Amino acid sequence: MGCEFSRLCSCCCCCIMEPNGVIAKSHDVEKEEADEASDLPSFHEFSIEQLKMATSGFAVENIVSEHGEKAPNVVYKGKLQNQRQVAIKRFNRSAWPDSRQFLDEARAVGQLRNPRLTNLLGCCCEGDERLLVAEFMPHETLAKHLFHWETQPMKWAMRLRVALYLAEALEYCTSKGRALYHDLNAYRIVFDDDANPRLSCFGLMKNSRDGKSYSTNLAFTPPEYLRTGRVTPESVMYSFGTLLLDLLSGKHIPPSHALDLIRDRNLEMLTDSCLEGQFSNDEGTELVRLASRCLQYEPRERPNPKSLVSALVPLQKETEQPSHVLMGIPQGGGGAMPLTPLGEACLRMDLTAIHEILENLAYKDDEGATAELSFHMWTNQMQDTLNSKKKGDVAFRHKEFKTAIDYYTQFIDVGTMISPTVYARRSLSYLMSDMPDEALNDAIQTQVISPIWHIASYLQAAALFALKRENEAQIALKEASVLEEKKNIT
């Protein structure tokens, strides 16, 4: 998306100062925004069946919400049929009773396209279902990297970049008439493939038509919201101030406590000890000054996003360093992972090798299917169904793939028992019979049944390679490698 230089370098390199002192966007930034828009599909309305398929039936394994299943509105990781990974927010059933209002809001947000946002790609409004579909960001949230880091604390230069990119995101939204953002916090900032920070588009819509705009602890809520229950553009600036405190301290400090420390000039207590030696007193003082302005009790005394951008641009450091380097994250979500024998076979389209691997795997990944089968064996119909499966297995073993397809289809059509391995075997049998579309459908169905089974993604890759859909096949192959590595670790 866009030239690599403009994507990875700070906007400090991409802005020019006009005679009136206003920071203007250079052609590089304009090109980045244009590239972002051209790379993404236009806003689309999905069916609930499409999103069920994308999330393997809203499987628990695909939940990425902060509070998991307990969240009032659950966010899932999903994969569309074109292999694009997405984040899908499923609202509480009672959240938006007025379907027209939901659609109008979603369509308005869906018109936004900017590299500082996780852009909204579509929605679903079917029956009482209300869902949003956005770009998926693979490198988790600012909260994770700032408060719960495992390998290294976030560097000062990266914290400054987060602040600038966030201000730019809010400036863009404001310029497009979407100045209101609901519950801005460290969980709303996520990191893309290149580890650049982006603002989640989900906060541009309320959690419900009449729902609260803030779900965080009251200690972090703008004072005017406590009085009126309404969010304003100035309320968003207050929340931005709390985020500046998060970046400075590496902790989620209540604004009242932070302001007391600032008044007492006790900045050392406010600063993350992990940042020692990474910035000057002047830099720290300037960030504290900006936070203080944002946290003013009177809303009218707070800055606007454009002035924040102007103030944050001169503070940027290590602007030549890509974000993934500053974050210590391999570029492209982990780099090129060595392929296993199954991955190599898919890449080479060596269907004979894939067949051997599936045959040796047998049914050991069917998670309880064997116990379910034995329980039902006493009925005549079930005995016939089991016989179909056994005959399919014999044909599969002897590479009689059209016969295998027929017997596996008999087993599947009865519908009493569900076996991901049967779908996987039929998928490969279709591939062997030069029926790649049918193979892809079965591979997708395999993943619906068993969302984290790497075999399903490998078979999708093989089917996509057969269909000459190279880019999508490479994405599926990479996902399969990641799932297989996780399985081997556990």
Q: Please identify every residue annotated as catalytic.
A: 183
What are the φ/ψ torsions at residue 176 (nearest 5 degrees)? -100, 15
Neighbours of 118 (CB within 10 A): 22
Handedness of CA 438, 443, 448, 449 (dihedral sign): positive
CA-based end-to-end distance of the chain = 35
Distance (Å, whole) CA 326 – CA 314:
18
Read off the DSSP letter of residue 63.
B
Q: What angle do CA 478, 481, 487 make, to 5 degrees?
A: 145
Handedness of CA 360, 362, 368, 371 (dihedral sign): negative
Distance (Å, whole) CA 401 – CA 13:
59
User: Partners of 130 in the beta sheet?
Assistant: 125
Q: Which long-range contacts (CB under 8 A, 24 or more apart) does 250-257 make?
A: 250/146, 250/147, 250/153, 250/154, 250/274, 250/275, 251/147, 252/147, 252/186, 252/220, 254/217, 254/219, 254/220, 255/219, 255/220, 255/295, 256/219
Residue type, 271: T
Handedness of CA 292, 295, 301, 304 (dihedral sign): positive
Which tokens hold the place of 307?
């002035």
What are the φ/ψ torsions at residue 5 (nearest 5 degrees)? -65, -45
Q: What angle do CA 78, 142, 139 make, to 5 degrees?
A: 40
Q: What angle do CA 169, 296, 271 make, to 5 degrees?
A: 75
Neighbours of 22 (CB within 10 A): 13
